[in-house]
Amino acid sequence: MPCELCAPSAFPELYRDDRLTVVLVTSEPDYPGFCRVIWHDHVREMTDLSPSDRAHLMDWVWRVEAALRTELSPDKINLASLGNVVPHLHWHVIARFAGDAHFPAPIWAARQRDGHVPPTDGLVRRLRRHLTA
Amino acid sequence: MPCELCAPSAFPELYRDDRLTVVLVTSEPDYPGFCRVIWHDHVREMTDLSPSDRAHLMDWVWRVEAALRTELSPDKINLASLGNVVPHLHWHVIARFAGDAHFPAPIWAARQRDGHVPPTDGLVRRLRRHLTA
């Protein structure tokens, strides 16, 4: 099966350079502030990257975290690089709110309630502006 | 309620310096290769740290990942900084195996089977040696 993260993402692109792409994951209605930072090369683990590539990838994880904090004022940021299903390096950067569907559990745990999160009008535009400023 | 990560950890310590401590989380029998990197100061998010502190913390996450890869040859490493329950910076560094209790789902998802993982005899000693070499 071809790797789905080697193909261009179907999600709105927030930033792209020669090494990585940042997208807004728009397939999770419970989590409108869910970004993914995808490394372009098909690499499995962070310790398979060179130190400078690793620093570049994490620099963009921090930039995305900062953008989400500024734009959405979440109660917590969740960061994860799992890749058990798709072993191609990518980071989940997720704005979490005390009233969201799983809080305080991870979003992969059992759903706890119908979630409520703040309005996210124009979020693609706002995050793009923040990340390319 | 006092923050449980501000108190000394009850888990076996693998490494400690003036800014962080690495422990082996021995309370999860399904996941013998589960380490935690705990920042000492009560800080909420990665972007609340200075760039040099952030780099130091991640350097130790990578060292722990490398140690787990060397000692256990896992099928995947999972990295996560969540902190919804305890908003004090800490990283989970988890060795995952294709036969473990949740694979390929995150360890926080529904259990899929009685898990099987490789033997981990002497793991505390081996990881300590690796991390302090």
Residues in A closer than 8 angstroms to B44, CB to CB, are 76
Note the maximum CA span of chain A.
42
Please give the distance of CA A95 from its chain centroid, rounded to a whole number.
Answer: 9
Between CA B46 and CA B2 the distance in angstroms is 21
Cβ-contact B113, B97 below 8 angstroms: no
pLDDT, tens digit, 9 for 90 and up, residues B87-109: 999 999 999 999 999 999 999 99
pTM surpassing 0.95?
Answer: yes
Q: What is the tens place of the pLDDT at every residue in B1-56?
A: 789 999 999 999 999 999 999 999 999 999 999 999 999 999 999 999 999 999 99
Q: Which of B79, B82, B84 sits opposite A81 (nearest CB)?
A: B79
Q: Note whether B79 and B91 are within 8 A (CB).
A: yes
Closest approach of chain A CAs to the CA of B43, in angstroms? 12
Q: How far apart are CA B103 and CA A85, in angstroms?
A: 9
Q: SS3 letters for B87-124?
A: CCCEEEEEEECCCCCCCCCCCCCCCCCCCCCCCCCCHH
* Contact by Cβ (8 Å): A116, A97: yes
* Residue A54 near chain B (CB below 8 Å): yes
